[in-house]
Amino acid sequence: MTIASSFIRLCRQIVGDANVIADPALLRVYECDALAAYTQLPDLVVLPDSVEQIPALLRLCHTHQIPVVARGAGTGLSGGALPVPGGIVLGLAKLNRILDIDPINRTATVQAGVRNLAISEAARPHGLYYAPDPSSQIACSIGGNIAENAGGVHCLKYGLTVHNVLQIKLATITGELLTLGGSGLDGAGYDLLALAIGSEGLLGVVVEATLRLLPTPPRVQVLLAAFATIEQAGAAVADIIGAGLIPAGLELMDNAAIRATEAFVHAGYPVEAAAILLCELDGQPEQVDADLARAEALLRAAGASELRVAADAAQRQRFWAGRKAAFPAVGRIASDYYCMDGTIPRRHLAAVLAEIAALAERYGLSVVNVFHAGDGNLHPLILYDAGRPGDFDKAEALGGDILELCVRVGGTITGEHGVGHEKLPQMCVQFQAAELEQFHALKQAFDPNGLLNPGKAVPTLHRCAELGKMHVHGGRLPHPELERF
């Protein structure tokens, strides 16, 4: 299936020749997102450079029944921006204007292609910042963040993207531009804003967003706690949250992650520890000081073998440098790794990590753990060798097992990366048929011909039946603890 040259000509009329890519050598750049294990050469890439072009392009695609895959910076980790044969990739990178920073309302209004970090940089002169901070924040764009409901280290305290977006402009497949959300806490009508956030490009294309900015906290402290067992570290996380503390970040790294990181960036981590926790506290000075004392006491009581408070900003940055470099550090010890993303109730942390290790051993693969422990968002990194035939298939199968384990203990198959192409089989485990049917009905209400990012995020019931996954388990809240796993 190729795209007719007449259609390409119409695209050129809308966005200009320079903004259409049809040359296979140049198209190669767009064959995958950051989940590079899945590739598909696109037929055509269109790169609008004004918001007005997008409804026109979508209307054109609707008229010609051409599928559309929206793409931000291509940093997604679930294959959400994987091209579709016979479709176009709608790249939003050129929509990179910051339209307004409003210090009184504490809002930023930006185009979809603006990079996450650029928003905080623009807000900094006003003492403000944009809270959600995915690891890719230097590169990833707000449009992609919204499509995937991105998180980050600080979402434990400040929420995911959905909690920090006030309004979006969403272009529909028929070329309408909807304004969703507003400045108030509540709004009239159905909550289409929340619905659109995390909808992975299946309902419309985000072209502009108004975001909530927060005041830069006047004091920040970081604690590093080392533990002799991973169970202790997991229990300490539950203790901290159970005590009513809400750290700005609460990250766990296991021994393999500590060693890989230390060898790479020399952050000063204790390499003998089974696990470390990094606990960041921020806010007003009085509150941070009080919280720090409580956190220290809790971590000590939980059996921390070592406890360090960053003495100054430099040491704080050094503590975080290790965590932030953990993924590339793991990249140095394995030829390839596959980063999973699932969420579990915190109290199951230790048991799930043990079960993941057992699963990995069964597959003959290694797993490194470095993740957002405070909100139970796991990121097991499965090490494999793409050059060894069958190795990725094993990694993929192990990843699937890990996600299904998350569902079994009452969790979900995504914490912040989305479902994309990657997690379709596990959607059949997470949801019952009636829920999947409702998803499809809802999709119909936005995109009856299924042109927007087809084949992603929500599997057909037929596909679930083929996979034999349907109804394996419906276990989620309210009583996951009653279920054996």
Which residues fall within 8 angstroms of residue 444, CB to CB, at 6 or more apart? none
> Do 170 and 180 meet the contact criterion of CB atoms below 8 Å apart?
yes
Within 383-422, the residues that bind its own copies by CB under 8 A are: 410-416, 418-419
Report the residue from 16, 345, 450, 454 that binds its own copies according to the rule CB under 8 A: 345
Which run of H or E residues covers position 319?
Answer: helix 313-324
Q: Where are the alpha helices (H) located in 124-279, listed in sequence order?
A: 142-148, 155-158, 192-196, 230-242, 255-265
Closer of 161 and 232 to its own copies (Cβ): 161
Tokens representing 307?
């406890």
Of 143-172, binders to its own copies (CB under 8 A) are: 149, 151, 155, 159-160, 162, 166-167, 172
CA distances (Å), origin 213, targets 123, 165, 218, 219, 392: 8, 9, 15, 17, 41
Q: How many residues bind its own copies (CB under 8 A)?
A: 94
63 neighbors 82 (Cβ within 8 angstroms) = no
Q: Which residues ranging from 62 to 101 are in contact with its own copies (CB under 8 A)?
A: 99-100
Q: Does 125 bind its own copies (CB under 8 A)?
A: no
The minimum distance between CB 158 and its own copies, in angstroms, equals 11
Q: Does 477 bind its own copies (CB under 8 A)?
A: yes
CA 371-435-209 angle, to 5 degrees, is 60
Nearest to its own copies of 92, 108 (CB atom)? 108
Shortest Cβ 160–its own copies spacing (Å): 5
Binding of residue 198 to its own copies (CB under 8 A): yes
* 136 contributes a contact to its own copies by CB under 8 A: no
Report the nearest approach of its own copies to the CB of residue 103 (Å): 9
Phi-psi sector, 181: left (phi>0), alpha (psi -120 to 50), beta: left
Nearer to its own copies, 391 or 401 (CB): 401
Among 195, 228, 309, 472, binds its own copies (CB under 8 A): 195
CA distance 282 to 454: 42
* Residue 249 binds its own copies (CB under 8 A): no
Contacts of residue 81, Cβ cutoff 8 Å, sequence gap at least 6: 32, 33, 69, 70, 71, 72, 74, 89, 144, 201, 420
Q: Are strands 366-372 and 249-254 parallel, antiparallel or unpaired?
A: antiparallel
Binding of residue 434 to its own copies (CB under 8 A) = yes
Q: Nearest distance from residue 186's CB to its own copies, in Å?
A: 5
> Per rule CB under 8 A, is residue 255 in the interface with its own copies?
no
- Binding test (CB under 8 A) with its own copies, winner from 289, 296, 306, 396: 289
The single residue among 63, 317, 432, 449 that binds its own copies, judged by CB under 8 A, is 432
Query: How far apart, in whole angstroms, are the C-alpha atoms of residue 452 and residue 200?
Result: 9
Closest separation in Å from C-beta 277 to its own copies:
19
182 binds its own copies (CB under 8 A): yes
Nearer to its own copies, 49 or 289 (CB): 289
Among 39, 50, 287, 305, binds its own copies (CB under 8 A): 287
For residues 402 and 330, what is the distance between their CA atoms, to the nearest angstrom?
A: 19
Least distance to its own copies, CB of residue 199, Å = 6
Stretch 213-232 residues interacting with its own copies (CB under 8 A):
215
Is 24 a residue that touches its own copies (CB under 8 A)?
Answer: no
Provide the pairing of β-strand 366-372 with 20-21. unpaired
Output the smallest distance, CB 362 to its own copies, in A: 25
Angle at 139 between CA 13 and CA 106, to 5 degrees: 95
Strand ranges for 240-386 from DSSP E = 249-254, 275-283, 306-309, 336-339, 342-343, 366-372, 377-378, 380-384
